[in-house]
Structure 1
Amino acid sequence: MSYSFDFAVATKAEAKERVATELAAVVSVQPVHARDRDAALAAANTFIDMLSDDDTKDIRVNVHGSVSYPWSADMDVEAVPLSQASVGVSAWHVPKAGSVPA
């Protein structure tokens, strides 16, 4: 199972909130991602925190992740052994929404 999301917001706090919201949405449709949600959230927050504070820029974040497991019709997503887990995070400054780059 895999997921990906990408967004831009004005502040680090908004970025962290949005990552949490996006991951909650992923878990709601792919419950197995409850297993890697905390790790993905921690990674995203770490990269968001690395950015310098710059009120003249927005923050863009991209997160993608996946897990693999031996599927069966009666599986318990909380107990199924994972055979693969990954997450990728990028966070960077972008021009403010509606601004024209110089």
Structure 2
Amino acid sequence: MSYSFSVKAPNKAAAKAAVAAEFDKVVASQPIHARDRAAALANAGAAIDALVDDEALHVSVNLSGSVGWRDVLTEAGDNPLTSVSISASASLFKPE
């Protein structure tokens, strides 16, 4: 299953919150992504944190990813992930 979304926010903290809120929507429609949520948010957060602090600029974030899994459940009742892909990009832009 895969996902892809973009968010824009006035600052880094708001961008991280917006990414988390959008990822929660992904998990609501594709529950398997609860398994890679922490990794995806960490990846996006690292990209956001790498940006310079500039109060005159806003933050744009693109996040996409996918997971693959085995159809056989483990003893714990979950599907073992066999692949995970996470791609995050963050950039600053001048608001209009």
TM-score, structure 1 normalization: 0.85
Match of 1:33 in 2: 33
Between the aligned partners of 1:40 and 1:70, the Cα distance in structure 2 is 20
SS in 2 for 1:88: strand
RMSD, matched Cα: 1.6
How much has 1:9 moved relative to structure 2?
1.0
In structure 2, list runs of 5 or more residues that go unmatched: none
Match of 1:59 in 2: 59
Pairing 1:89–2:68 present: no
Between the aligned partners of 2:26 and 2:7, the Cα distance in structure 1 is 15
Q: Which runs of 4+ in 1 moved over 2 A?
A: none
Between the aligned partners of 1:27 and 1:39, the Cα distance in structure 2 is 13
SS in 2 for 1:32: helix
Between the aligned partners of 1:7 and 1:82, the Cα distance in structure 2 is 27
Report percent identity of matched pairs: 44
- Give the letter aligned to residue 85 of structure 2: S
How much has 1:70 moved relative to structure 2?
2.9
In structure 1, list runs of 5 or more residues that go unmatched: none
How much has 1:21 moved relative to structure 2?
0.3
Aligned residue-pair number: 94
SS in 2 for 1:6: strand
TM-score, structure 2 normalization: 0.90
